[in-house]
Chain A
């Protein structure tokens, strides 16, 4: 009886939340951003505040109406919110036009950005320019592999401006998709062949997606090799 009473109180509160002025003012836009896959960090002040204040109620809202999980993570003292799927269902967004898989190139660029984030671990602003990425492709320990993937030729040292221009353009497209996800911001064109952007703490979400694979790397590689042999 007491449980029923409590549940009723929670439900009543759940509905009341959507009648408050701040929720009525910002929730419609916030809802769109979340459903479009955006990760909400504290610089989106009103959205972040709303999510922090009504996290339990909004979590329930997405669970009941969308069968989605509203999640919150904290990384390096910065909290961010996002919508995600449960293991067995993509909820209301199950139709292929309403969710997407990260592509191979996005996955590779996201790992590269994550590594660059840690390489700038002590910088309070993790600003990256395409020239930093270019030097990774040309000079890093995986230069040969990067060149094979992006230029189809790992042994060449020099590439024509046209070839670079193509890679720059395609990299920028991916970065702009990440901007939509909220993993980077301040994408600024700097001259014809360079652009810069800032990696945000929410790139950590990508890390959590592959947490198991990264933490259990040997197992991951074994599984990969086994499935290849099959």
Chain B
């Protein structure tokens, strides 16, 4: 659509400042050649307004193409017609790209060369040639792929003829490579220029700088500018070399494959035919099932691969083409382990019950007696329950109980009564007194 609008403006069919009706007509023309559904013109206009069209100042009802749109058209033109590729690369580069360092007297000379002879001329030309070479190789590869994938024999007959065209296409790289070699000379001249500006900084007259410090600043600026130009030019050639190598790699690979293919022509074509049939047979043998996903209903032998699991979490593999379901997974029970756990749980419960029972008895006794000998109670418990943990827990809980109730006093004598001195567990003499 942008191309149509641009062309109409160029041919003066519509004015430079066009209207919405012109957009609609351009869209109609697009729809005549492209089989797409008709989009809403308002929506499309909004989309184009971002980058490709804009309202001219003081005229909100008209449109103009943006500079981005113009660049886009230029790019398309280069891509589709690649007019630049017809310019002789090496000769143009020799005439405009190269220069003699001794002709550069000040930074303006160098800047003028960079802007006019390099950036807008040689660089664009090299890029366009590279782009054209890339297109040729890419198109050739697409065509070669099509020829050998074609099920009919007619395409194969064209293979020999096309092979010659394909092998000729590499000659385009020769001119780019020669130009890159010439860039060595250019780089040498640029190094001289940078050194020239560097020398100007280092050899500046100190008396002059003292008088006017601005002099040194200007020289440094010139040197920085020269350095920037150097780095941009050098980087450009590095990138071009890299891109060229990539394209040549693609060519070499394709050429090698071509030789392989020709050598094994019969086996390869037979194999590809069989592979096609094998795909068809597998597709025919498969069925989509809502519950099981895609499965073979014919007895096709599935092949195995190792899949050792190195994770503790082993997630079961489900065929992904299945309608998702939720499952309740029953836990597997090991009866021996469960019995053991039951037993230990029941022992623990029994102990808790015993602690509670003994604690209650002791609390009742406390309320009835004025002086309770806790040490004696502890050894009594130890004897009755034969479980030191229960006895200790009861004593510990009763001490907590006493500390919270003001009607009791706890007396601790830091002595071990004589009659208990042979016991395995020794505790001080403790008495709980009921306040009067």
B278 pairs with A214, CB closer than 8 A: yes
B309 pairs with A108, CB closer than 8 A: no
**In whole angstroms, what is the CA distance A151 to B293 when docked?**
11
Among B249, B253, B308, B314, which residue has the most Cβ atoms of chain A within 10 A? B308
Smallest beta-carbon distance A38→chain B, Å: 9
Q: Which of B253, B303, B314, B317 contacts A209 (CB 8 A)?
A: B303
| Chain A hits for B396, CB < 8 A | none
Q: Which of A85, A108, A118, A148 contacts B272 (CB 8 A)?
A: A118
- The yes or no answer to A150 lying at the interface (CB within 8 A) is yes
A124 pairs with B302, CB closer than 8 A: no
A123 pairs with B306, CB closer than 8 A: no
Q: Count B-side interface residues using an 8 Å CB cutoff.
A: 52
A102 pairs with B306, CB closer than 8 A: no
B306 pairs with A35, CB closer than 8 A: yes
CB within 8 Å of A: which B237-274 residues: 249-250, 253-254, 256-258, 260-261, 271-272, 274
A112 pairs with B319, CB closer than 8 A: no
| Chain A hits for B276, CB < 8 A | 115
| Chain B hits for A170, CB < 8 A | 320-321
Complex interface: stretch among A5-13, A51-59, A221-229: A221-229
Mark contacts of A46-82 with chain B using CB atoms, 8 A cut-off: 1 yes-contact digit, 0 otherwise: 0000000000000000000000100000001100000
Q: Which of A83, A97, A105, A112 contacts B309 (CB 8 A)?
A: A97
Given contact pairs A114-B275, A115-B276, A97 touches B314 in the complex (Cβ within 8 A): yes
**In whole angstroms, what is the CA distance A115 to B309 when docked?**
31
Given contact pairs A105-B321, A122-B257, A217-B278, A181 touches B305 in the complex (Cβ within 8 A): yes
Residue of A whose beta carbon sits closest to that of B253: A124
**In whole angstroms, what is the CA distance A37 to B306 when docked?**
5
Residue of A whose beta carbon sits closest to that of B288: A152
A98 pairs with B261, CB closer than 8 A: no
| Chain B hits for A114, CB < 8 A | 275
B288 pairs with A37, CB closer than 8 A: no
A100 pairs with B287, CB closer than 8 A: no
B280 pairs with A145, CB closer than 8 A: yes
Complex interface: stretch among B95-103, B141-149, B407-415: B141-149
- The yes or no answer to B285 lying at the interface (CB within 8 A) is yes
B307 pairs with A100, CB closer than 8 A: yes
B249 pairs with A124, CB closer than 8 A: yes
Smallest beta-carbon distance B254→chain A, Å: 4
- The yes or no answer to A26 lying at the interface (CB within 8 A) is no
- The yes or no answer to B113 lying at the interface (CB within 8 A) is no
Smallest beta-carbon distance A167→chain B, Å: 9
- The yes or no answer to A4 lying at the interface (CB within 8 A) is no
CB within 8 Å of B: which A96-115 residues: 97-105, 107-108, 111-112, 114-115
B308 pairs with A36, CB closer than 8 A: yes
A108 pairs with B145, CB closer than 8 A: no
- The yes or no answer to A159 lying at the interface (CB within 8 A) is no
| Chain A hits for B286, CB < 8 A | 104-105, 108, 149
Among A101, A174, A181, which residue has the most Cβ atoms of chain B within 10 A? A101
**In whole angstroms, what is the CA distance A210 to B282 when docked?**
12
Interface residues on A, range: 35 or more
| Chain A hits for B308, CB < 8 A | 32, 35-37, 93, 98
Residue of A whose beta carbon sits closest to that of B257: A122
- The yes or no answer to B153 lying at the interface (CB within 8 A) is no
| Chain A hits for B215, CB < 8 A | none
Smallest beta-carbon distance A163→chain B, Å: 12
A122 pairs with B254, CB closer than 8 A: yes
Q: Which of B271, B298, B310 contacts A224 (CB 8 A)?
A: B298
B319 pairs with A124, CB closer than 8 A: no
| Chain A hits for B278, CB < 8 A | 111, 210, 213-214, 217, 220
Smallest beta-carbon distance B188→chain A, Å: 34
**In whole angstroms, what is the CA distance A206 to B305 when docked?**
10
A83 pairs with B306, CB closer than 8 A: yes
- The yes or no answer to B296 lying at the interface (CB within 8 A) is yes
| Chain A hits for B145, CB < 8 A | 119-123
B279 pairs with A101, CB closer than 8 A: no
**In whole angstroms, what is the CA distance A163 to B123 when docked?**
49
CB within 8 Å of A: which B149-188 residues: 149
A36 pairs with B149, CB closer than 8 A: no
A149 pairs with B310, CB closer than 8 A: no
Residue of B whose beta carbon sits closest to that of A209: B303
| Chain A hits for B256, CB < 8 A | 77
Smallest beta-carbon distance B108→chain A, Å: 46
| Chain A hits for B249, CB < 8 A | 124
- The yes or no answer to A138 lying at the interface (CB within 8 A) is no
Smallest beta-carbon distance A100→chain B, Å: 5
- Please give me the 8 A-B residue pairs with the lowest Cβ-Cβ distance, nearest first: A124-B253, A35-B308, A145-B283, A101-B302, A152-B288, A122-B254, A105-B294, A37-B305
9 pairs, A vs B, C-beta closer than 8 Å: A32-B310, A104-B296, A114-B275, A123-B250, A124-B254, A148-B283, A173-B320, A221-B281, A227-B298
Q: Which residues of A contact B (CB under 8 A)?
A: 32, 34-37, 68, 76-77, 83-85, 90, 93, 97-105, 107-108, 111-112, 114-115, 118-124, 142, 145-146, 148-152, 169-170, 173-174, 181, 206, 209-210, 213-215, 217, 220-221, 224, 227-228
Since A150-B321, A221-B277 are in contact, a sample of 11 more A-B pairs with Cβ atoms closer than 8 Å, ordered by chain A residue number, is A36-B307, A100-B317, A102-B304, A105-B294, A105-B321, A148-B288, A149-B288, A151-B288, A213-B278, A215-B274, A228-B298
